[in-house]
Structure 1
Amino acid sequence: MIMRKIWLTAALFLLLVLAACSSASPDQNSAGADLPAGDPMECTLSSVFPAPTELTVAKLPEVTGSDWSRGPEDARLMLVEYSDFQCPYCAIAGRSLQAFEAAHSDQVRVVYRYFPLPSHDKAPLSAQAAEAAGLQGKFWEMHDLLFEEANWDAWTAMTPADFETWVADQADAIGLDREKFMADLKSDALVSKVEKAYGSALSSDLNSTPSLFIFVDGQLTFLPADQIPYDAQTLELLLTLSDLQAREYNACPPTVVDPAREYSATLQTTKGDITLRLYADKAPLAVNSFVFLAQQGWFDNVSWHRVLPDFVAQTGDPSGSGFGGPGYEFKNEVSDSLKFDREGLLAMANSGADTNGSQFFITYGPATNLDGGYTIFGEVTAGMDVVKKLTPRDPSKAGELPEGDKILSVTIEVK
């Protein structure tokens, strides 16, 4: 199992190798379907996300109607942010979360909680300004205004007295009743509320801002200690993987392969057909998993997400991110008689010994550096020219990637 604190860091690193990441056990079968009858193959359950944490263990107060939030209550992702308006990293996070929520307004909920640090002279007052705007139904307008880059650069350089004048003008600009806003700004009620929010953050053992708690499908999945980045790319990845998690299996696949028989597969792709001979006698676990997933439609419309000419073409992750798997892992099956000595070899991708899932690759040539670390479970018997036509894609490189070619369907033949 991958440790919680290194989940994303390790995942990003593993983009550079033949990786398929995973961690804790899921709760449902793929697409809600029952598994076929048969003795299960040997495997370990392993989800794309860590096991959820109870709120009491995390010392996190439950999200209620008294919290400031935007986005649906049944959002796929809920981001609970403890933040300080005067904190520079909070400003970056605030703008990032605002844009992400706006882009996925039907799937993402952002909850904002005050954590005004004593080292920032206007942190409590700016929180009170947001709260005063909230009393007139415009918390988020003030939140966005305070974090807007040009505004933030200006007001954080002011004295507290100058900030009061400035924020009163901003209250006018967003249509607030200025007199009521100024009366509420430093009222005992708002001062007390912000102080209590600070105390609550300390009771949750928080010591820095921003501190982000991430819920996936209603379950607390990541804690501030996990240090999940709040950039758009990472948040998009989490949302993508949350969709894949719903397809994961919660049991090891049944045995559907007889090692004494001969198996072949045809990958129908957007560039043409690729025919594979499967080594059921030498790698029965890998072939069994591959055949099972193919029969379940797991590979249908899946992208060749990593195509490196002269090295490998990799696929098998329905999320297209390179981090997804079927909810289980199985052992390596390394044979002394099989080496990465030519093009057209079919092998399992992994993120370390015995972490094979659904991702696999085809070699473009000899790759002796892979010997002993990856399970070879077949070879291309026809269509290597199609493999060579696949659109090159290197997820480890910066910039926008071209759209990947896809596996349309997989047909299994048995003799």
Structure 2
Amino acid sequence: MIKRVLFLTFILAFLLTACQPQKSTGQPVSGPPMEGCSVTPLLPTPDPTLQAKIPPVQADDHTRGPKNAPITIIEYSDFQCPYCAMVAPVMEQLAARYPDDLLIVNRHFPLSTHPNSLLMAYASEAAALQGKFYEMEKVIFASQDQWAGSDAETARKWVIDQAGALGLDTTRFETDLDSQKVKDRVQRNLDEATAAQLPGTPFLFINGLPYQSDMSLDGLTGIVELFKLEKRQYTACPPMVIDPKKQYEASFETSKGAFTVKLYADKAPLAVNSFVFLAREGWFNNVPFHRVLPGFVAQAGDPSGSGYGGPGYFFKNENTEAKFDREGLMAMANAGPDTNGSQFFITYAPADNLNGGYTIFGEVINGMDVVKNLTPRDPQQGGNLPPADKILTVTIVEK
């Protein structure tokens, strides 16, 4: 019940933390700094030892997207792997969704436990020599059940027939299928994956960071948005922009309606200060309620919608003696003590199990029915979820 936190492998636990037309500058405005805060990069630094084993994009790699895209996904895949067959159309959709932001690179990792996977890797490379790698890839994955259980001779005949159906020169295709050039091309990728000790397929490297978690379209969209969010992160902690002696309210306009939160500036000045600062910067504009669990909490504050995002800084816990004894309480999500960022949650009911672990910094005073009407969605279940309701704007009123 917390926010998701990025580790090197992106294989994470769920925590309770939880976009954007008006972009933040990435630099706080001037003013006295907020204490109890430290700058924390959004993404870890790639392991140089592992990076050395995974070559950058090569001239003969099979790619989708612009070569100068800011985000590169390198996928190691096995044609006989059922999960790879599921991911293949997702990667195609992802490339179409981010035509300017994303370069997808396809590489081979035929597993020894899949007897026909090596043959199909050769077939894709033979097709590539006639300019139809992706056409052959699509056919092989889409018809996996037709050849995966076959003997080698039957599988070979099947793929040659498919080459003909794709309009390839089948005589040349057969020659290339057996050529040393094609075998060496596949072996190169296999050696890379083996040297890196990849645990299985499909396996991704996203800007050098290994990833083998949720590969649904929603899951990967969230990860791409997370990498895009890096440009919006702050490089210093925010200044103090509130007066703890004054009263503050936050008026939320959402795709489901409006609600108002009274902020506890006197009890949780750091949390309120960060929230007010980010709201005035437009950080919460068009941010989804990415996690909504009826009877428990509604969670938001991450512009990427992945549950991993934050503003680039953490600040310490406050007001931990307060109790989660009713609905409508707004608190900071975290991944442990003093790891508060921009994600927050609103309770739907008393939650004694949260007592002492989270900073309560506000309470819904109007429009709780709107909060209760948010679309339920649980990212922990994986897969494609219903569209999230969004915060359109947050307006701060100082009294």
TMscore range, shorter length: 0.7 to 0.9
**Which residue number in structure 2 is paired with residue 278 of structure 1?**
263
Question: Structure 1 length as normaliser, TM-score?
Answer: 0.81
SS at structure 2 position matched to 1:233: helix
**Which residue number in structure 1 is paired with residue 243 of structure 2?**
258
**1:389 CA displacement:** 6.1
The equivalent position to 1:183 in structure 2, one of 144, 166, 175, is 175
Pairs within 5 Å for 1:269-308: 269-270=253-254, 274-307=259-292
Larger radius of gyration: 1
Residue 333 (structure 1) aligned with residue 327 (structure 2)? no
Amino acid at match of 1:4: F
**Which residue number in structure 2 is paired with residue 358 of structure 1?**
342
1:80, 1:113 within 8 Å by CA — same for their partners in 2? yes
Structure 2 distance, partners of 1:131, 1:283, is: 60
Residue 208 (structure 1) aligned with residue 237 (structure 2)? no
Structure 2 distance, partners of 1:412, 1:339, is: 26
Structure 1 distance, partners of 2:395, 2:38, is: 25
Amino acid at match of 1:39: P
SS at structure 2 position matched to 1:92: helix
**1:79 CA displacement:** 2.2
Residue 93 (structure 1) aligned with residue 87 (structure 2)? yes
2:348, 2:372 within 8 Å by CA — same for their partners in 1? no
**Which residue number in structure 1 is paired with residue 357 of structure 2?**
373
**Which residue number in structure 2 is paired with residue 37 of structure 1?**
30
2:76, 2:106 within 8 Å by CA — same for their partners in 1? yes
**1:358 CA displacement:** 1.6
For the aligned residue pairs, the C-alpha RMSD in angstroms reads: 3.1
Structure 2 distance, partners of 1:75, 1:248, is: 19
Residue 173 (structure 1) aligned with residue 165 (structure 2)? yes
Amino acid at match of 1:357: G
**1:361 CA displacement:** 3.4
Residue 19 (structure 1) aligned with residue 17 (structure 2)? yes
Structure 1 distance, partners of 2:79, 2:369, is: 54
Deviates more, 1:286-295 or 1:90-99: 90-99
SS at structure 2 position matched to 1:351: coil
**Which residue number in structure 2 is paired with residue 69 of structure 1?**
63
Structure 2 distance, partners of 1:5, 1:394, is: 26
Q: Kindly tell me: are residues 165 and 292 of structure 1, through their superposed partners in 2, closer, same or farther at Cα, counting changes over 3 Å?
A: same
Amino acid at match of 1:361: F
**1:60 CA displacement:** 0.9
Question: Structure 2 length as normaliser, TM-score?
Answer: 0.84
Q: Kindly tell me: are residues 385 and 154 of structure 1, through their superposed partners in 2, closer, same or farther at Cα, counting changes over 3 Å?
A: closer
Structure 2 distance, partners of 1:3, 1:57, is: 18
Pairs within 5 Å for 1:188-199: 188-199=180-191
**Which residue number in structure 1 is paired with residue 374 of structure 2?**
391
1:391, 1:405 within 8 Å by CA — same for their partners in 2? no
Count the aligned residue pairs.
Answer: 388
Q: Deviations over 1:179-198 (max 9, x none)?
A: 22122221233233333443
**Which residue number in structure 2 is paired with residue 249 of structure 1?**
234
Amino acid at match of 2:374: T
Structure 2 distance, partners of 1:176, 1:113, is: 22
**1:303 CA displacement:** 3.8
Amino acid at match of 1:360: F
Amino acid at match of 1:325: G
**1:407 CA displacement:** 4.4
Structure 1 distance, partners of 2:200, 2:324, is: 49
1:95, 1:147 within 8 Å by CA — same for their partners in 2? no
Aligned-pair identity in percent equals: 46
1:393, 1:404 within 8 Å by CA — same for their partners in 2? no
**Which residue number in structure 1 is paired with residue 217 of structure 2?**
232
Amino acid at match of 1:212: L
Deviates more, 1:280-289 or 1:238-247: 238-247
Gaps of 5+ in 2: none
1:262, 1:278 within 8 Å by CA — same for their partners in 2? no
Amino acid at match of 2:29: P
Structure 2 distance, partners of 1:178, 1:322, is: 49
**1:403 CA displacement:** 4.7
**1:285 CA displacement:** 1.0
SS at structure 2 position matched to 1:4: coil
2:297, 2:347 within 8 Å by CA — same for their partners in 1? yes
The equivalent position to 1:112 in structure 2, one of 95, 106, 111, is 106
